Amino acid sequence: MPADPVVADLHLHSTASDGALSPEAVVDLAAAAGLRTMALTDHDTVAGVARAQARGRELGIEVWTGCEVTVYAGSIELHVLAYGFDASAESPLCRVLRELRAARSERATKIVAQLAAAGVKVDEARVRAIARDADSIGKPHVALALVEAGHARNVPEAFRLYLSRDGVGHVNKRQLDPAAALEAIHASGGIASLAHPGQPPHDEQLAPLFRIGLDAVEALHAAHGDVNRRFYAGLARRYDRGVSGGSDFHAPHLKAGLVVGCSGVSSAQLADLRRRIASRAAHAPAAVPA
């Protein structure tokens, strides 16, 4: 049976974090793909959301408030997608995000220092210049600086040689607890979905996350094959949770076939997520998608 048509891509990145295109350009691609809804989900920031929403109004594309938040269950790094929350500066989630961005900035300085101590010199000013308008600096910006400095041929090699968990430039992110992240998201009127649960799989974490309020699972991530899609969608049904999905787009030509709208949710799945956001908002004032 053919899959239902994708009407919304709910996992997209821009220059507000580690994407290559402006928020407006990402919306343009969503419109060109024939989507009617999208979510801008930059890492630990909502800096690009208002710009994306303004462009969306021009093009008739609904842009949800979104963000991808890094959390840690012990030593296991997980990513949580937040949707439909209050994005005002003093909402509980945005206060947490400010703290995470400050920690990211400090981490970039530590990464550069560790690389230098290992004889791999990179100019921190250049790293920050590469980040440009990014509100949330990350390893991809350091990787680009490593390539520019001749320490690696490309970004994947820079990660493999220097920035992987065993690399000389690896520095842990600030370790936000999943329960604290979910509490902040829900207190801000939003819902939370576990991003790309099969990349890599940490299936043992799903039941504990469901117990503390995880609202959905990103079964329809672009990197998931049919087996993973069916498995995670099945878990969502078993626990009465929503199914989210998206391309996880960062840049054109990053990976063959990985374009805005190549993966996402159907009309029915989108309506279910909207219902869950409305339910959360009923208990905490927030900006809910119309």
The verdict on residue 200 lying in a domain is yes
Omega of the bond leading into 200 within 30 degrees of 0 (cis): yes
pLDDT of 287: 44
Would 251 be classed as within a structural domain?
yes
Give the pLDDT of residue 284: 72
CA dihedral in degrees (176, 178, 179, 180; nearest 10)? 30
Residue 140 domain-assigned (yes or no): no
In this structure, is residue 117 part of a structural domain?
no
CA distances from 177 to 32, 200, 220, 234 (A): 38, 19, 25, 26
- Rounded CA-CA distance 240/243 in Å is 10
Q: In the prediction, which pLDDT does 86 show?
A: 95
Which CA distances in Å does 276 have to 165, 243, 267? 36, 11, 14
Look at residue 3 and tell me if it is in a domain: no
pLDDT 10s digits, 128-142: 998 887 777 889 899
Tell me whether residue 106 is in a domain.
Answer: no
Q: With a cut of 70, list the residues of the chain below it in pLDDT.
A: 1-2, 285-290
Domain that holds residue 40: 8-97+174-281
Ramachandran quadrant class, 136 (left: phi over 0; alpha: psi -120 to 50; beta: rest) = beta
Cβ(284)–Cβ(187) under 8 Å? yes
Task: Count how many domains the chain has.
Answer: 1
CB 52 within 8 A of CB 23: yes
107 belongs to a structural domain: no
Kindly state whether residue 165 falls inside one of the protein's structural domains: no
Q: What is the pLDDT of residue 283?
A: 80
> The domain that contains 203 carries what CATH number?
3.20.20.140
